[in-house]
Chains A and B, each alone.
Chain A
Amino acid sequence: MSRLTLLALQVLVAVVCIVLWQVLSTVPVFGKILLPPFFFSNPVDVFSQIVKWFASGVIWKHLAITLWESILAFVIGSLGGVLVGFWFARQPTVAAVFDPYVKMANALPRVVLAPIFALWLGLGIWSKVALGVTLVFFIVFFNVYQGVKEVSRTVLDNGRMLGMSERQLMQHVYWPSALSWMFSSLHTSVGFAVVGAVVGEYLGSAAGLGYLIQQAEGVFDVAGVFAGMFVLSAFVILIDTGVTLVERRLLVWRPTAADGRG
């Protein structure tokens, strides 16, 4: 299938869905509207709500706040994950001692922490950042830990035989290996940073996309809820595209499935 046909088919799916939605929510079938506007709104209303947000410019502030929270959550969570991951991987005793607690903390559904963070850090951005950090941290931590542990024995021996000191092994062997594992989970961790920010906003804040959705929901403005969801999806897709670009640049050395050789 050529790229163009693929794109055409993808667009077709969207068009069919939107048309169905519009028709079923405005035209009665056998005297009954299948998608009552009160619960489902309709595409035209949703679209005009989005246009209104962008035209008046209110949306930018919310987007900026959510983006900022996501970035902070990602950076802080990754940094912590890398440091602790490295430390644990190089100090098996430490890892063994903390193992049950790490498992326990990771098993906890992070949403329950949101009220606590709000209590500790207030309703500003930091309580949302903290929520995002708890999500990002564990993903990065596990991957870096794995990356350092799974360095090929032969590659490590080769480094040693070439005369590398512990520090040089760190720099030329452990670090690149850990980074590659971390980057392989980049999409997940960036996604979770956004989830942390939005869920945090939704549960209590004064700005951000999550706040926008929560506000609309509060007054049963279904069009507003859907509009917020669409803006959020577009936002995530945009960030994800950015991540893909970064990934392509940084992981050129990795074989891709297209190479046909593992």
Chain B
Amino acid sequence: MTTPTAVALEDAKVAFRLADERIYTAVEKAHLTVAQGEFVAIVGPTGCGKSTLLNVAAGLLKPAAGSVKIFDRPLAGLNRDAGYLFQADALFPWKTALDNVAIGLEIKGTPRTEALPRAQKWLTSVGLGAFAGRYPHMLSGGQRKRVALAQVLIRDPKILLMDEPFGPLDAQTRQVMGNLLLDLWSADRKAVLFVTHDLEEAIALADRVVIMSAGPSSRIIGDWRVTLPRPRDIFEVRLDREFHALHREIWSVLKDEVMKGYAQSTQAAEAV
């Protein structure tokens, strides 16, 4: 028996209606699958539609064409199997870190007395045990991301959608967080769709690295399997020869797209 497919985007096309009634096609014919227990990273130039693809997988955005299947069933409405770590700040500003994490359980009807200690445990496991009483505005950008991670993981979703979760972190903390994520993930191997603009991070973390072309009408233009052995240490894996070979290979494709994406966005800015 083959492993079931957790997420399958089949020729998904996403278009936005702009304010002046023109249609902007962000993503064209995206074909992407994530098997159960698989860690897939999406890399692409800024504005190519990475967040858009995650929104489609989350059910927050309906594709204009093509289909979305979650565990082989067509997705209707929100994706109830997924936990989504948003690119922008998404914590509830009026709740403390602890309450922000506990809410994931309380929604499901878990009594507060039971939810709070479990939330505290999750905060501790993302290294924020001492920050339980803080409100989001009293946390740094990286600490907020970690609270958000705990908020998502406490619900134990089968699929994890992560949009540049380590975006605001410095290089060292990114590695610490990456290792933490791999530890948490290896415990129960969820299907992960991980967006990043950092190719090294993508290779170090993922089983597969998917590259998107620059928008508009961006497509998936490459799909590499990463066969580095697990468990990995993010820091050490970067010294591996295979890592370098793969990095060079993917970068040769990605580089052109990054230049294209940059040129297009400056052109667009000049046109305005």
Contacts and interface: CB of A to CB of B under 8 A. Distances in A.
Contacts of A254: 93, 137
Interface stretch (A41-49, A158-166, A202-210): A158-166
Q: How large is the interface on A (under 10, 10 to 19, 20 to 34, 35 or more residues)?
A: 20 to 34
B137 A259 contact: yes
Interface string B135-170: 111100000000000011001000000000000000
Interface string A228-262: 00000000000000000000000011110001010
B52 to A, nearest CB: 13
A184 interface: no
Contacts of B86: 154, 157-158
A161 B86 CA distance: 10
Contacts of B30: none
Nearest to A158: B90
A255 B136 CA distance: 9
Nearest to A256: B137
A253 B135 contact: yes
A58 to B, nearest CB: 45
Contact of A155 (B83, B84, B90): B90
B161 to A, nearest CB: 9
Nearest to B86: A154
A164 B137 CA distance: 23
B84 A158 contact: yes
A175 to B, nearest CB: 9
A254 B91 CA distance: 13
Interface of B: 58, 60, 78-80, 82-84, 86, 88-96, 103-104, 107-108, 135-138, 151-152, 155
26 contacts: A152-B88, A152-B89, A154-B86, A154-B88, A154-B89, A155-B92, A155-B93, A157-B90, A158-B84, A158-B90, A158-B92, A160-B78, A161-B78, A161-B79, A161-B82, A162-B155, A163-B80, A163-B107, A163-B108, A168-B107, A173-B92, A180-B94, A253-B94, A253-B135, A253-B137, A254-B137
